[in-house]
Amino acid sequence: MQQRVRNAMAIASAAGSHVDPVPDTQGRWYVFARNLHTVFSAATANRGAKLGFFLVLALIVVAIFAPLIAPYPADQMGAGMSLLPPNGDYWFGTDEFGRDIFSRVIYGARLTIQVGLIAVGISLTIGTITGLVAGYAGGWTERVLMRLVDVVFSFTETLIALAAVAVLGPSLTNAMIAVGVAAIPFYARVAYSVTLVERNRAYFDAAYVAGAGHLRLIFVHLLPNIVPPLIVVATLGVSSAVLAAAGLSFLGLGAQPPSPEWGAMLSAGRDYFTLAPWIMIYPGVAIMIVVLAFNLLGDGIREALDPRQKS
């Protein structure tokens, strides 16, 4: 929710980013791979992006190996005494049921990855297809689709996510869907504006003249070329999605107890703030680090792709 404006900026600059057009003779996989390489080298060239990249990598490692890293299962009551402050055995302390907060935060990383994948997956897929089709088809299709996108865009994401949860009912899955749906317009707009540019390039005309069908033109010729800016938006999108889903869980509209989702942990911890502030502090720090990581990475890639943004 927080990053509406930044995403808008990302759209503006990503649309104008430069990835040199590649002659289609090299084959579409080459285009795709070359674009990925561009993005990757962009990411590693920037200091902030490098830091972000390693943090994201760390998050993924933590999520995959959670059972090995966490000393206790996330829901194990009586792992320690209740409300122990952080110490050598329980690094982040324990909660009211004696659950180990460190273990819960570690397991929470899995849910965070899920939120990122599912929410961004939804918005990326639907948004990209909408934008591509609108940009490719032109005419009435374009007008109707993009007008709809504008309508959705003109609400804040918060409002759309809330409306979706109001209809679907509170659960983490529904929160992910809600957050994903709310972000569709960003992806659609980027895909649309890049498609407009790509459509006028020589390789597209060549393919068109050669008699390629609609689907082939859209998915084989256009799609690989609009990947870089979408990666920027999707990376920043993960940070927005994580924040938004945690916010919904915090309000009680997302993950339900005893889920170690960070927003939900934070919300449960507020009752103990004066007695045991650590219950609330560590999940908050975890959210912040993950959001920061994706922001750094996304910013880094964007700056590297867009010469105007370099400082």
Partner 1 sequence: MDRYLLQRSLAALLTIWITTIAVSMLIHLVPGDPVQIMYAQSQGTTPEELEEVRQRLGLNEPLVVQYVQYMGRVLQGNLGTTIRGEQPVLELLLERLPNTLALAGAALLIACVIGLVSGFIAAYKRGSWLDTSLMTTAILGVSMPHFWLGLILLFFFAVRLQWFPVAGNGIENLVLPAVTLGVTNAAIIARLTRSSMIDVFDQDFIRTARAKGLPKAMVLYGHALRAGLVPIVTMIGLQFTYMMGGAIVVENVFGWNGVGRMAIQAIFQRDYPLIQGFILMFACIVVTVSLLMDVIYAWLDPRIRY
Partner 2 sequence: MSVRMTVALTGAILLGIAAPTMADDIVWARDGDIDSLDPHRATSTLSRQVWYQIYDSLLEFNDAGEPVPNLAESWEVADDGTEVTFTLAEGIVCHDGSPFNADDVVWTAERALGEDNPSLTKASWGPITSVDKVDDLTVSFKFSKPFGAFVPFMADQFTSMLCDTNADADGFGVSSALGTGPWKFASWTKGSEIVLGKNADYVNRGRPVDNDGAPFADRLVVRTMPEAQTRVAGLRTGELNVIAPPIQEVKSLQEDEAVDVHVATGTGQNMFLQFAVNRPPFDDARARRAVSHAIDKDMAIQVVYGDLVERQYCPISRGVFGNDPEFCKQYDQDYDPEQAQALLSELGYGPDNPMEVTLATWTGDSRERMLQMIQNQLSQVGIQANIEVMDIGTLNARDTQENNREEGPGYMDLMGWTWFDPDLLYLLWHSPGAYEGFHTPELDAILEEMRSTVEPEARKEVVQQAFKILLEEAGQVPIYTPGWAWLYAVSADTPGFKIGPFNRAQFAAMQP
| Count of positions on this chain that bind partner 2 (CB under 8 A) | 17
Does the footprint of partner 2 cover residue 77 (CB under 8 A)? Answer: yes
3-class secondary structure per residue, the chain: CCCHHHHHHHHHHHHCCCCCCCCHHHCHHHHHHHHHHHHHHHHHHCHHHHHHHHHHHHHHHHHHCHHHHCCCCCCCCCCCCCCCCCCCCCCCCECCCCCEHHHHHHHHHHHHHHHHHHHHHHHHHHHHHHHHHHHHHCHHHHHHHHHHHHHHHHCCHHHHHHHHHHHHCCCHHHHHHHHHHHHHHHHHHHHHHHHHHHHCCHHHHHHHHCCCCHHHHHHHHHHHHHHHHHHHHHHHHHHHHHHHHHHHHHCCCCCCCCCCCHHHHHHHHHHHCCCCCHHHHHHHHHHHHHHHHHHHHHHHHHHHHCHHHCC
How close are the terminal C-alpha atoms of the chain, in Å?
27
The residues binding partner 1 (CB under 8 A) are 1-6, 8-9, 48, 147-148, 150-151, 154-159, 162-163, 165-169, 239, 243, 246-247, 250-253, 263, 266, 270, 273-274, 277, 280-281, 284, 287-289, 291-292, 295-296, 299, 308-309, 311
Taking the complex as a whole, the smallest distance from the CB of residue 112 to partner 2 amounts, in Å, to 20
Residue 2's binding partner out of partner 2, partner 1, none, with CB under 5 to 8 Å set by partner kind: partner 1
Taking the complex as a whole, the smallest distance from the CB of residue 302 to partner 1 amounts, in Å, to 11
Does the footprint of partner 2 cover residue 156 (CB under 8 A)? Answer: no
Does the footprint of partner 2 cover residue 167 (CB under 8 A)? Answer: no
Residue 97's binding partner out of partner 1, partner 2, none, with CB under 5 to 8 Å set by partner kind: partner 2
Judge whether 279 and 269 are in contact, CB under 8 Å. yes
Among 89, 150, 205, 271, the residue binding partner 2 under the rule CB under 8 A is 271
User: Which region, judged by CB under 8 A, interacts with partner 2, from 33-41, 52-60, 239-247, 253-261?
Assistant: 253-261
Taking the complex as a whole, the smallest distance from the CB of residue 140 to partner 1 amounts, in Å, to 15
Q: Which two tokens stand for residue 133?
A: 């089709």
Residue 256's binding partner out of partner 1, partner 2, none, with CB under 5 to 8 Å set by partner kind: partner 2
Cβ distance to partner 2 smaller for residue 138 or 257: 257
Taking the complex as a whole, the smallest distance from the CB of residue 46 to partner 2 amounts, in Å, to 32
Judge whether 245 and 179 are in contact, CB under 8 Å. yes
Cβ distance to partner 1 smaller for residue 98 or 170: 170
Residue 117's binding partner out of partner 1, partner 2, none, with CB under 5 to 8 Å set by partner kind: none
Taking the complex as a whole, the smallest distance from the CB of residue 48 to partner 1 amounts, in Å, to 8
Does the footprint of partner 2 cover residue 252 (CB under 8 A)? Answer: yes
Among 86, 258, 277, 284, the residue binding partner 2 under the rule CB under 8 A is 258
Question: How many Å apart are CA 5 and CA 1, to the nearest integer?
Answer: 9
In sign, the C-alpha dihedral spanning 303, 39, 216, 25 is positive
Does the footprint of partner 2 cover residue 4 (CB under 8 A)? Answer: no
Taking the complex as a whole, the smallest distance from the CB of residue 155 to partner 1 amounts, in Å, to 6
Q: Note the residues at the interface with partner 2 (CB under 8 A).
A: 75, 77, 96-97, 170-171, 252, 256-258, 268, 270-275
